[in-house]
Amino acid sequence: MKAGFPRSWVAGLSLFLGLVLLAVVVWVAAGDEPYRADVSRRPATSTAGAGGAAATLQQWVEALESGDAAAAASLTPEQDAQAGQGVEAIVRNVRALGLVDLSARYLDEVGAIGPDGSWTAAVDLSWRIDGFDQEPAQAEVLVDFVSDGDGVAITSVGGGEGVSPMWLGSPLAVRRAPGTLVMAQGADRARAARDYLARVQRAIPVVRRVLPQWRPSVVLAVPASASGLDDALGVADGTYDAIAAVTASADGSGRTGAPVRVFVNPEVSGRLRGAGAQVVISHEVVHVATDANTAVLDPWLLEGFADYVALRDVDLPLDITAARAAASVRRNGVPDHLPGTAEFDPSAGDLQAAYEMAWLACVEVAARAGEDGLVTVYEKASGGADTAEALASVGLTPKGLLAGWQRRLEALE
């Protein structure tokens, strides 16, 4: 990685290490290219089979749009009750979320055709949450089909490689408030939706105290498990096992304009209480407010700013909020550069120290140029200016910032 992350990277991971629960962000590569089905060497379905599958998909979309669960279930094999229940759940999820602009385009089969005539196909799926998403999300998902009499039936939707949107899975609990939508899965989904809605509602004024021009529009998703989070983001199992939350596009793309979600890992966030739990969500909402998902910024500025806003009004002493940074200084001395590529690599030895140091760099900018100056630096850098130019706009230099930041670190010892 180099300073200023490419747009294909995921933004806004919240990781909690040690005894101090602070929101931090880990950059994880989404891959150089989005997943695409490898169809070059597989035996093809018949034209009739592919055409039948495309027709079934069109009927499925029509059932979703009309909210007709029975019509959707009729597109599954009559003897496959599980498949029928699965598509009925999808219809209810679509209705609960208020999805519009739905489309499903058959691409090609993936893998070998089974002896029973079943196969998996890649399908180009589009959707948008009405009232929240400005543009549709678009992802390649997997759909299982089987020949069924004279037609083609659906046996499952989603799963496997690639992105698997939560609404294609088990039933969702959905809660709304002005500018906020929360969806949750799992046995405790109703409580999770209620609790996270409250956290987002508390985060909004925290963010607007620093960014008053922001008009809140936040969609937060709580999968049933850490593996569900990996599925929703289309990443390898275990990728986000230690992560509390991540802000990323709904469809796994890095394109500008793609709908953005705050995804929560319930197995990590569920263990947090009080200020720690709230700071996670406030941190992620900062990323939503600043379009961090597509920003190309020095990591210390992008992540330090999010922590600056999230921690601004949290009543915790410096020996708590900068404990890991202080330990790092005692162990390794004061760094000669602001946290960058190496420090923010997911495999780095002390990621939390990097985030605390990034936060302190932003505290230093605010101390020298005022909070408005920090916001100006962030906005100019996110608008395309290099960091030195952004700092110069408020009378600062990289050299002066570095020296002041180093003095702060020395004072931690």
pLDDT tens digits, 189-234: 999 999 999 999 999 999 999 999 999 999 999 999 999 999 999 9
Is 60 exceeded by the pLDDT of residue 17? Answer: no
Tens-place pLDDT, residues 231-252: 999 998 988 887 889 999 999 9
Residues 340 and 406 grouped into a single domain: yes
Residues 257 and 112 grouped into a single domain: no
pLDDT cut 90: percent of the chain above it: 77
Ranges 16-20, 195-199, 255-259, 353-357: which has the least confidence: 16-20
Sign of the alpha-carbon dihedral angle for 108, 60, 155, 151: negative
Tokens, residue 8: 């294909």
pLDDT, average across residues 303-331? 95
Residues 260 and 318 grouped into a single domain: no
pLDDT for 48: 56
The rounded distance, in Å, linking the Cα atoms of 166 and 268 is 19
Domain assignment of residue 331, yes or no: yes
pLDDT for 408: 98
pLDDT for 348: 67
Residues 31 and 171 grouped into a single domain: yes
Is the separation of the CB atoms in 88 and 73 below 8 Å?
yes
pLDDT for 93: 99
Residues 220 and 168 grouped into a single domain: yes
Residues 255 and 343 grouped into a single domain: no
Residues 198 and 338 grouped into a single domain: no
Q: HSE-up of 120 (CA within 13 Å, CB side)?
A: 15
Residues 54 and 27 grouped into a single domain: no
Residues 279 and 335 grouped into a single domain: no
The rounded distance, in Å, linking the Cα atoms of 102 and 116 is 30
One DSSP character per residue, 322-374 reads THHHHHHHHHH---SS-S-TTTTSTT-TTHHHHHHHHHHHHHHHHHHHHHHHH
Residue 69 belongs to domain spanning: 47-160
Residues 270 and 194 grouped into a single domain: yes
Is 90 exceeded by the pLDDT of residue 379? Answer: yes
Q: Which residue has the higher pLDDT, 396 or 16?
A: 396
CATH of the domain at 155: 3.10.450.50
Choose the final residue of a domain: 264, 294, 324. Answer: 294
Cβ contacts of 354 within 8 Å, gap of 6 or more = 339, 343, 344, 348
Domain assignment of residue 3, yes or no: no
pLDDT cut 70: percent of the chain above it: 88
Is the separation of the CB atoms in 152 and 53 below 8 Å?
yes
Q: Which residue has the higher pLDDT, 40 or 91?
A: 91
Number of CB atoms found within 10 A of residue 40's CB: 6
pLDDT, average across residues 120-141? 97
pLDDT for 37: 39
Which ranges of 67-167 would DSSP assign to H, the alpha helix? 69-73, 81-97
Number of CB atoms found within 10 A of residue 336's CB: 7
pLDDT for 146: 96
Residues 269 and 306 grouped into a single domain: no
Structural domains in the chain (count): 3
* Confidence at 11, pLDDT banded by 50, 70, 90: low
Is the separation of the CB atoms in 184 and 258 below 8 Å?
no
Residues 322 and 227 grouped into a single domain: no
The rounded mean pLDDT for the chain is 89
